[in-house]
Structure 1
Amino acid sequence: EDGILSTCQSALENWSAANSSKSRIVVENLHNSQILFDFDKLWEGYNAIRFASTLETYSQQFDVEALLSSMKTDTRRPMKEELAWEFEQGQRVDEKALKQARDIYDKYEEWLHEIFLDTNKDPNDEGFHVLALPSAQVWPFPIDNRYPKDISGTKMDTYHRWMEVCVPVSFGGLPCVTVPAGFGKNPNRSNESSALQNLPIGIQLFGKKGDDGKLLHLADEYYRYRCNATKSTDK
């Protein structure tokens, strides 16, 4: 939604400008220097594995066929429509689809290897230590809304497409920590109360496999920077 990227970008740039961390924080847009991985392919591969895994897990505990059948005949439905849809998608995933998903994963792994800086092997290598993404694609929404059906005019083709921004981390099995970016205003809700316009958003900071400790250390530095910035503002 409008305002999310700018809020996250500003949070990172302000952190870099403050230069209060032990680490030297340099912010750069990835697409300015690297060819981005095909997001549609990521979504395709992620969903194939996710659907198949969900079906397999539930099938070990429940009679999925019976549950799906009762969804059509029983007025007291035994599960949410979204879960039934997950099962149906899982039933459509065949060996060919799984192989394609594995191929996408392998290519994504290669892309990640090229993106992340590996100072242990080559100190002069140009790459990135950490990547960042917004924690969500939408601002917090009313609890009565089941899920966002469109984002800034773009219709969501599935009930979980609004959290697609989590796929690069989840599909890659990468370590990740989420930190607060701050508050922003959604222009699409300008007619609502001020309390609903000043909404929080976070930032996913993620790195290569095995960098869990480095990410936690970086998050701690960010936390200390935010605390100091808040104290300065309050004075």
Structure 2
Amino acid sequence: MADQGLVRETACAVVDKLNSGEVTPLDLLDVLEKRIAEVDDRVNALPTLCFDRARAHAKTLMKKPAGDRGLLAGLPIPIKDLTNVEGVLTTQGSPIYRNNVPARSDILVEHLENNGGIIYAKSNTPEFGAGANTFNEVFGATRNPWDTSRSAAGSSGGAAVALATGTAWLAHGSDMGGSLRNPASFCGVVGMRPSIGRVAHSPAFKIDRNLTVHGPMARNVEDLALLLDAMSGEHPADPLSLPLLPTSFLSAARSGKKPKRIAYSPDLGITPVDPEVAAITRKAAERFAEAGAIVEEAHPDLREAHECFHVLRAFDFAISKAALLRSKRDQLKPEVIWNIEEGLKLTVEQIERAEAQRVAMSARTLEFFNTYDLLLAPATIVPPFPVENRYVAECAGKKFDNYVEWLGIVYAITLVCCPALSLPCGFTASGLPVGLQVVAPPRGDAQLLAGAKVLEDILGVRGTTPIDPRAPK
């Protein structure tokens, strides 16, 4: 009988046990199946399970010698329900795809499986990943385990909750407007948006779409780095994909390399922020001084971020979803319809202006990183909000114009092509997690992980997950 205590182990420790033969991939699947049965009905993180497929894959993998089973060595991984897994229900959170079973996996999934990952579940997501609150008409809402009346954010909400509740050691997600960073922040785990091209995936709708990237989520920085290593590498089907680096991200995370100069900004100059969130993130950022870093308040000039993102996101929705609007409008949620229609109304002049804004902001940000090694800011501008609220309508007295504007603090970083992660950095007075966004220059993924691990060690918040779901007090 496999030990249920394994759910509390780090992914790196479990992979070591797999490599030594102390546990098998089948043992881990038994542990997860039992844990999911115990807790998932309270949070709804992993609505689709595929344990038969996982066990068949595990048995095939176990025929290989222990050293030949890939970086993950048979560690189980859930895949976000936006991404195709061969033979497994993949709904994208939409009634349109309620019965969709893909015949072929995304190349990202094939890559993970080739690296010894075993797919056992699909994690819940909002419809088409739109909006940073994980609910949909197919599976319902995913709840925050720290307080099950609260949102888990999104769109990789199921992934974050699975990690926080011990139904996953590592999890896959994707990020356009903070979809790996927001739920990590709300759930007290680590979620990273890597550099564009770091993780190859199957192109869809546009060969060079780059607002969205795929990335890792974990309970700590080392585990996150391990999954990024397993996800990374080029593929001919993805022309933006980057080759593997000569040194692993896990070794970068463990390097102890300290940043010399840090910038902290409570708002990146573009958004209101809840005062409690600002205070907690500022206090965490200032603790970098304990590692000998200079910490100053500064940020690059990102003033065009809202206009730029609104246009480029709408353009992306038009390209990827206009056909669905024409044929299945009655099955789309209002926010998705709004997004597509905004995209279809765009003029070439608006797109030209937005692309020019993105180039200018990216250049200013690159210049900013000539002075600073890392930029720190809140990962979300509010603590976890009531799950029935579709989105954050206002913050600190400012009302937002649309359902994504509250995400400016993360989507501004998306626009300037920087890798970024959300690191657990403390709790509100009511016991809800707060995430600190850590940003590095483009392609600075290794630098980002090294710096985040240094601060993680100082803050001492690592190890607060997994938890059993908690009902509201």
Same fold (TM > 0.5): yes
SS of the equivalent of 2:426 reads: strand
- Cα deviation, 1:123-158, whole Å, max 9, x if unaligned, reads xxxx11111110101110111211121112211110
What is residue 183 of structure 1 aligned with on the other side? 427
Equivalent of 2:311 in 20, 44, 48: 48
SS of the equivalent of 2:428 reads: strand
What is the root-mean-square deviation in Å for CA atoms of aligned residues? Answer: 2.0
What is the rounded CA distance, in whole Å, between the counterparts of 1:63 and 1:227 in structure 2? 47
Q: Is residue 2:382 matched to residue 1:114? A: no
What is the rounded CA distance, in whole Å, between the counterparts of 1:113 and 1:214 in structure 2? 15
- Cα deviation, 1:187-228, whole Å, max 9, x if unaligned, reads xxxxxxxxxx23221111111111100111111222222339
Q: Is residue 2:436 matched to residue 1:207? A: no
Offset at 1:114?
Answer: 1.7
What is residue 294 of structure 2 aligned with on the other side? 26
Asked whether the equivalents of residues 426 and 461 of structure 2 are also in contact (C-alpha less than 8 Å), the reply is no
What is residue 283 of structure 2 aligned with on the other side? 10
- Cα deviation, 1:79-113, whole Å, max 9, x if unaligned, reads 11100100111111121011001110121122112
What is the rounded CA distance, in whole Å, between the counterparts of 1:37 and 1:13 in structure 2? 22
What is the rounded CA distance, in whole Å, between the counterparts of 2:443 and 2:392 in structure 1? 34
* TM-score for the superposition, normalised by structure 1: 0.75
Distance change >3 Å, CA 229–CA 26, structure 1 → 2? farther
Asked whether the equivalents of residues 392 and 406 of structure 2 are also in contact (C-alpha less than 8 Å), the reply is yes
Equivalent of 2:345 in 92, 109, 116: 92
Q: Which amino acid aligns with 2:326?
A: E
What is the rounded CA distance, in whole Å, between the counterparts of 1:215 and 1:224 in structure 2? 14
What is residue 378 of structure 2 aligned with on the other side? 134
Distance change >3 Å, CA 38–CA 116, structure 1 → 2? closer
What is the rounded CA distance, in whole Å, between the counterparts of 1:54 and 1:229 in structure 2? 37
What is the rounded CA distance, in whole Å, between the counterparts of 1:148 and 1:168 in structure 2? 17
Offset at 1:182?
Answer: 0.4
Distance change >3 Å, CA 84–CA 217, structure 1 → 2? same
Unaligned runs of 5+ in 2: 1-273, 464-473
Equivalent of 1:58 in 321, 327, 336: 321
Greater RCO (CA < 8 Å, at least 6 residues apart): 1
Offset at 1:38?
Answer: 4.5
Equivalent of 2:457 in 205, 224, 228: 224
Unaligned runs of 5+ in 1: 69-76, 118-126, 186-196, 231-235
Percent identity, aligned pairs only, is 22
Structure 1 or 2: more helix by fraction: 1
